[in-house]
Amino acid sequence: MQYWRKPLDADKIQVPHGEIHIVRDRCKGCGFCVEYCPRDVLELSKQFNIKGYHPPEAVLPEACVHCQLCEMLCPEFAIFVTLREEVETIES
Amino acid sequence: MSKQNNNLPEHPMERLLRMDRIPHIWCSTCGIGTAVSCFISALEKFEYPMDKVAIVSGIGCTGRVAGYIKLDSFHSTHGRAIPFATGLKLANPELKVIVISGDGDLSAIGGNHLIHAARRNMDITVICVNNFIYAMTGGQSAPTTPLTANSSTAPYGNSDPPFNLPLLVGSCGATYVARWTALHIRRLTKSMHEALNKKGFSFIEVIAPCSTLYARRNRLGTGLDLMKFYHDNSEIKHGAPLEELDINFQQKIIVGKFIDKEKPTFVDNWNNWLSQKLGSKFVPYGVAKA
Ligand code: SF4
Ligand code: SF4
Ligand code: SF4
C-alpha cells in the first residue's frame, strides 16, 4: 500500500476514483470510516448485519477519491477500496 | 461504486491475517485493530522475506495480535514477550523480530525486560499499544494510567504518577523512539516501517482507545470519541525533549519521532569486545560468512 498518492501535476490535477468494498458482516459499526472519510462518502446504514451492528454504506460512491483512509482506520478489516480505471482530469 | 457482500475481492490485508480467526475479539471502537492495520501496511512495504519475520506478543487485549497475523508468531506468557523475542533473535540472528503488546504487559509485568532490552540495544522492534489500563483483566490501573483517571483498582481516581514511556526507553538507550495515536494512521505506518528497517532497539508507543474499560469507566464516550479527542488534542513535535512527553488525563498528547540514532547492538558489542580480547581465536556470532 502506498502512503501518499503520486505527486500532483503542476497544471493538471488528476482525481482518482475508488471503488468501495464493504465486508458487511465483519463490521462492528465503530463509525471510524464514516467520521474520517474526507469526502463524506459513507454513512452507517439502518440495516443490521449478522452481529447486530450497523455497517456503513456508500451514499456518495462517486465522490470517493481512493485515499484509503477508511481502509487504514478500520479496526476490523471490513472495508477496502480499489482504484477505478477512469481518471478525471481537471484543468486548472 | 460500492459493492456489498457476495463475490467480494479479497481484502488486501487478508494475505497477512489468519482469516480463520477473524473476526477478532476486540470490542467495537477499540483501537488495537487500527494499529494492526497500520502494522500490516508497514509489513507490506518492508522488503524482507516474510518467512524471516516473527511476531511475539505477551498477554492482554493487544497480546492477541500475534495470533491474528499470518507469520511465525508466539503468544508468550504475561510480560515475557521481550525475553522470548530476545531468545529468538539471538538463536537466529537472521530473523526480524517484532514484539507487539500492551502497556501493562510491556511496562509493568515485563518492565524490567523492557529497560534491559533497550539498555543492551537488543536488535528488535517493540510496538506498545497504550490504552492506559489493564483491559483484558478488568480495567485495573496500569503504570500508564494517567493521574486522576478512574480504574477498577482506583475507583476514586488514580493517585500514582504514570510512566512516560518514550522517556523510559529513551533514557535506557533505545535507538528509535516514536509515539503516535491510532488516528495518525499514515504517520504511524511510516514510523513502523522505519522501525522495521532500524538496527537496534526500536520502540513505538501507539496511544489507542479502549472503549469498554478506559473510556466507559472514565465517562469519555466510545472509542470514536477518543479518536476525536486525539484529533483535537495531539500535537506533532518531532525531536521533542523526552521530559516533555508526560501524558495527563484528557490533556494534550505530544506525538512524533523523538529519537532516531545509530548505535552498536548487543551482538555488535559482544563481537567487538571478544574479538579484541581473544583475537583470531574468536568466531564472531551471527555474521554471515563471506
Ligand atoms: S477511500 Fe477515502 S474517499 Fe473513498 S470512501 Fe474511503 S475514506 Fe472516503
Ligand atoms: S471502520 Fe470498519 S468496523 Fe468501523 S464502521 Fe467502518 S467498516 Fe465498520
Ligand atoms: S477491553 Fe478495551 S482494549 Fe480490550 S478489546 Fe475491549 S476496547 Fe479493546
What is the CATH number for B209?
Answer: 3.40.50.970
CATH numbers and ranges of domains, chain A = 25-89 (3.30.70.20)
Chain B positions contacting chain A at CB under 8 Å are 1-5, 8-9, 11-14, 17, 22-24, 26-34, 36-38, 41, 44-45, 183, 185-186, 189-190, 222-224, 227-228
Which string of DSSP letters, residue by residue, matches chain B?
-EEESSSPPPPGGGGGB-GGG-S-SPPTT-SHHHHHHHHHHHHHH--S-GGGEEEEE-SSTGGGHHHHBSSEEEE-STT-HHHHHHHHHHH-TT-EEEEEEEHHIIIIITHHHHHHHHHTT-S-EEEEEE-SSBTTTTSB--TTPPTT--BTTBTT---SPPP-HHHHHHHHT-SEEEEEETT-HHHHHHHHHHHHT-SS-EEEEEE---IIIIIHHTT---HHHHHHHHHHHEEE-TT--GGGG---TTS-EEEEEEEE-----HHHHHHHHHHHHHGGG---SS----
B267 inside domain:
no
B284 inside domain:
no
Residues contacting ligand 2 via CB (< 6 Å) = A 27-33, 55-56, 73-74, 76, 78-79
Q: How confident is the model at residue A56 (pLDDT cuts 50, 70, 90)?
A: very high
ipTM greater than cut 0.90 = yes
B193 inside domain:
yes
Q: How many CB atoms lie within 10 A of CB B171?
A: 14
Q: Residues 6 or more apart from A7 whose CB is under 8 A from it? A: none
pTM: 0.93
**Segments forming the whole domain that contains residue B61:** 3-262
B64 inside domain:
yes
Q: Cell digits for A10? A: 503542476
Q: Tell me the pLDDT of chain B (290 aa) as tens digits.
A: 444 445 678 999 999 999 999 999 999 999 999 999 999 999 999 999 999 999 999 999 999 999 999 999 999 999 999 999 999 999 999 999 999 999 999 999 999 999 999 999 999 999 999 999 999 999 999 999 999 999 999 999 999 999 999 999 999 999 999 999 999 999 999 999 999 999 999 999 999 999 999 999 999 999 999 999 999 999 999 999 999 999 999 999 999 999 999 999 999 999 999 999 999 999 999 876 54
B65 inside domain:
yes
Q: What is the Cβ-side half-sphere exposure of residue B279, based on CA atoms within 13 angstroms?
A: 0
B31 inside domain:
yes
**A64 pocket-lining for ligand 1 (C-beta < 6 Å):** yes
B270 inside domain:
no
Report cis status (omega within 30 of 0) of the bond before B23: yes
Query: What's the CA-to-centroid distance between A26 and ligand 2, angstroms?
Result: 9
Q: How confident is the model at residue A66 (pLDDT cuts 50, 70, 90)?
A: very high
The per-residue pLDDT for A87 is 62
Task: Give the Cα-Cα-Cα angle A74, B231, A62 (nearest 5 degrees).
Answer: 50
Length of chain B (residues): 290
Q: In what order do the strands lie in the sheet with B176-181?
A: B72-75, B53-57, B96-102, B125-130, B202-207, B176-181, B253-260, B234-236
Overall domain count for chain B: 1
> Nearest C-alpha of chain B: how many angstroms from A19?
5
DSSP A39: T
**Is the pLDDT assigned to residue A9 strictly greater than 90?**
no
Select from A24, A62, A76 the Cβ nearest to the Cβ of B33.
Answer: A76
Distances (CA, A) of B51 to B74, B125, B229: 14, 17, 39
B271 inside domain:
no
